[in-house]
A and B are shown apart, each in its own frame.
Chain A
Amino acid sequence: MTLTLAVSKGYLLDQALPRLAQAGIHFDRAELQSRRLFIEDQTGAFRLLQVRPWDVPVYVAMGAADVGIVGHDVLMEHDLHLIRLLNLGFGACQLVIAGLAHSSNTQLHHGIRIATKYPQATADYCRKLGMKAQLVKLYGAIELAPLTGLSDVISDLTATGKTLAENGLSVWDTIYHSTAFLVTNPTQFRLHDATIRDLVGRLTLSTGSHVIP
């Protein structure tokens, strides 16, 4: 039986492919770059779906994919009961609160306006601090928000901090550290028990993560 993998397009796919190859699962480069929506590995045991990061949890929850590779950041925004099989370790980044570096006010305060693509995690963070904040959901170029007065601060993902610095923003606090996870849904996990355990075993060996399959 073929196992269907949904992988986040973009930098996670780029890092997932060599890890999958180390685990003995090889996808053809030319096929990956073609416009085909899904491709099979050389053995035909695995099928790869390249989907948008935010869609990976939905594919897995609905059983359209058996397993997925997706960032912790995306999982935290979805209210779906997925199983985290393995922390793959790559795709490291942080969700941070960042504000204008020259701002005299580096304190978060009640009523602060925060622009973000990550309202769930940001709201959780504010709740834990006991702080009432006004969240503004944006879909891109979050750094622009404090520069234009749309928000006081932002809550955004950063890997190196370079883009923040370029926009004159500095990190005030870190909400979480994120890496890529291998996920499945509780029913698919059992219907594909042996195949998924085998995959976890192979990826464990190739990533150095420690989950006993």
Chain B
Amino acid sequence: MTPFSPFGVYELNPSEAHHHHTLTRQLADGFESAGYLAVRTPVIDDLKSLIPGLDDSLLPSVLPLHHPDVPDAILRPDHTTPIARLVASRMSHQLPVKVYYCAPIFRRPAHDWDAIEQFQAGCEWIGESGPHADTAILDLCIHQLSQLGIQDLAIDIGHVQLTQTLSVTHRQALLSGDYSTLGWLPKRGGIDLAQGIPDLESLFHSIQSKSYSNRVYLYQGLVPTLSYYTGFVFTVMAPGYRRPIATGGRYDGLMGRFGLSTPAVGFAIHLNDILDHR
């Protein structure tokens, strides 16, 4: 019997590889025209050196690797964390920096149908704060997805402050998706839901003139779960995709964990579903 590669990792024949390269090259070109520079982080990493920045919720999906000389060797579980370490350790004198990546991360699959190898292409703007940076990141992400020909995008915006007025029980119900206990479906609409959060008001104001502004929703159910998120977050969805095709937001809390307190904002496009969608 002919052996096969395992499920959940990518093995591409020439036509699949061509499709993959076309897509990733287009994204890389788009990021470079926007002033972002390519970086690479290690595929094999050391958990101890990433742990300051890795969110606890990610730990169960980290894939350990048996390595005789690196006791805590793991496969790269995330891009933002090793990029934060790279910028803090080697690029701190160049701030602000705009970097991008186009590479897989590796996670322990939670279900039979989940991939181990997850391709992501994304940008991080480190050392810059303010609504202009938030808007630029959102705009670049949506522009790139549109360039890939993905139609009818739906863009949801959330913010860490949206749940601050909720009781502990309600907050827990909202986070776990138990809206029957919450007692209401989280509202999804326009700027009137911003509850006076200045970040959101500026963001909505500055995207008013964009062609996609009528597809941007403020969604009270979008609550950042990673502890280093400090401001707005967004997810981009499209018909025919069962999960978001891109996610991003402001994470001013991350860089400080690597000893360089500076703001940051970024996004990742989740390429597996886009590559498989033909």
Contact = CB atoms under 8 A, between A and B. Distances in A.
B183 A210 contact: yes
Contacts of B184: 211-213
A79 B60 CA distance: 14
Interface in A67-108: 79-87
A208 to B, nearest CB: 13
Interface stretch (B32-40, B41-49, B133-141, B241-249): B241-249
A150 interface: no
A211 B185 contact: yes
Would you call the interface of chain A mostly helix, strand, loop, or mixed?
Answer: mixed
B113 interface: yes
Contacts of B210: none
Nearest to A196: B185
Contacts of B242: 61-63, 185, 187-188
Given A200-B185, A211-B184, A190 B178 contact: no
A187 B221 CA distance: 11
A24 interface: no
Nearest to B237: A187
Interface residues of A, number: 28
Nearest to A182: B180
Nearest to B156: A190
A44 B241 CA distance: 23
A188 B238 CA distance: 10
A168 interface: no
A190 B182 CA distance: 18
B105 to A, nearest CB: 19
A47 to B, nearest CB: 16
A186 B111 CA distance: 17
Interface residues of B, number: 24
B179 A62 contact: no
B177 A82 contact: yes
A83 B243 contact: no
A178 B169 CA distance: 20
Interface string A169-213: 000000000000100011111110100010010000000011111
B179 A84 contact: yes
Contacts of A84: 177-181
A86 B182 CA distance: 10
A85 B179 contact: yes
B188 interface: yes
Which 7 residue pairs across A and B have the least CB separation, nearest first?
A: A63-B242, A212-B184, A83-B177, A87-B180, A84-B180, A84-B178, A187-B243
5 contacts: A61-B242, A79-B110, A186-B221, A211-B180, A213-B185
Given A187-B241, A212-B185, 18 more contacts: A61-B111, A79-B111, A80-B111, A83-B178, A84-B181, A86-B180, A181-B180, A185-B243, A186-B221, A187-B242, A187-B244, A190-B154, A190-B156, A190-B188, A210-B183, A211-B179, A211-B182, A211-B184
